[in-house]
Amino acid sequence: MTAATRTDPTPVRPVGGLLRHRDFRLLWAAQTVSSIGSNVTVVALPLVAVAVLDASTLQVAFLTAAAWLPWLLIGLPAGAWVDRLPRRPLMVACDLICALAFLSVPLAALLGRLTVAQLLLVALGAGVARVFFETADQVYLPVLLRPEQLPDGNAKLQATQTASYVVGPGVAGLIAQLVGAVAALLLDALTFLLSAVFLLRIRATEARPGRRDRSRSLRRDMVEGLRFVIGDPYLRVLTLYGAASNVGLTGYQAVLVVFLVRELRLAPGLVGLLVGVMSIGGIVGALLATVVARRFGSARALLVGAALTGPPALLIPLAGPGVGLVWPALGGVLVSLGVAVGNVVKGAFRQTYTPHHVLGRVTVSMQLLNYGTIPLAAVLAGALGARYGVGTAITVMTAWSALTPLILLIGPLRRRRDLPAAPAAS
């Protein structure tokens, strides 16, 4: 495949760093607004299911499963297609699909035709678009930035994405409290439209795949990316850890809204506020990730992030009314801090370590396993909640999460200060 090229007129090292990089600012703005909208949905969609349609615990868990199921169904072919297609138009198309999907919910509610089945279809359709968007986004950033700029770029993107975990749920809870949860999805649709506008204004171009690349077998491309991940000791252990960690993290998150509304009797506004507060640590983690990696080493930074992601999750099941809300807030802050540190370091490592012509396939191969466990975890948490109670489901999932950092100790990370710059074979 022809290597990506930069034709962005912005200087490579502009005064003021990436804040003066026009195309990066536009990509950053696009991701920020769409992330806020997506995190409005994290609270708004379950609230619609619970408060408007009186959905069961298992049905609410199925919403999370539907949103992540596409990673299992189309993850590998999506990665191969992303390596064949221009990324920016693909990302714009994904934004427009998401906007239409979320607009359908308030329209159906207005007509009195809204059902849980439609919410599941909306979650599934937006999930398909997300597979392509997130894969293309990972491959597109190195087109805009040079390798030495990627850690700073990833840190900035991670910081605002994590900030959206705070802003989105809070906005969703506030809107749901004032005018109803269905109205919050209107905001989500508008953010995706705005994201598409920002992406269309980017000037940088990238080389298209040559004819030989387009004629390659799709199956061969998929296998090549998967084989690269399985054969590499660093990517392999990071993928295994991500998959195991997401079981616990997504498991408790899938039923958290049900727990807060039906067990603790919290109002929608307070639900959104608490979920937002639980994500505040991620902002700090994203801002400090590159500093920690430079000072202590990128491999050690990953281990620190994993340690914060695991054991502190055990504080979340201690939630209770009143002062008892301090425990999930504190646990969530520490967990989100660890996740942010790990995501920034891992994202920059993957983008610089992996040859660019297979980056899309490598990214989606890792995400296939990382995200592919999420629908299974959501269904498992929903089944546990339906059978033994939501509190028990959250306890089981956070206990699993506390153990997962041990996985990183079985690979080469524990012996290194910094992650390598390139595979050993090259």
Sequence ranges of the domains in the chain: 17-203+217-415
Token reading at 29: 């703005």
Does the domain at 17-203+217-415 match CATH 1.20.1250.20? Answer given as: yes
Q: Looking at the predicted structure, is the pLDDT value of residue 374 above 70? A: yes
Token reading at 228: 């690269």
* pLDDT attached to residue 425: 57
Residue 247: what residue type? Answer: V
Q: In Å, what is the CA distance from 303 to each residue of 211, 297, 314, 403, 424?
A: 43, 10, 18, 13, 22
pLDDT tens-place string over residues 213-239:
544 566 776 777 788 888 899 999 999
pTM of the predicted protein model: 0.70
Band the pLDDT of 137: cuts 50, 70, 90: confident
Q: What residues contact residue 38 under an 8 Å CB cut-off, 6+ apart?
A: 164, 168, 188, 191
pLDDT tens-place string over residues 143-176:
888 877 877 887 788 677 767 766 777 777 778 7
* pLDDT attached to residue 8: 37
* pLDDT attached to residue 196: 95
Terminal-residue alpha carbon distance, the chain: 18
Q: In Å, what is the CA distance from 210 to each residue of 83, 89, 192, 215, 223?
A: 11, 18, 31, 9, 20
pLDDT tens-place string over residues 385-401:
999 999 999 999 999 99
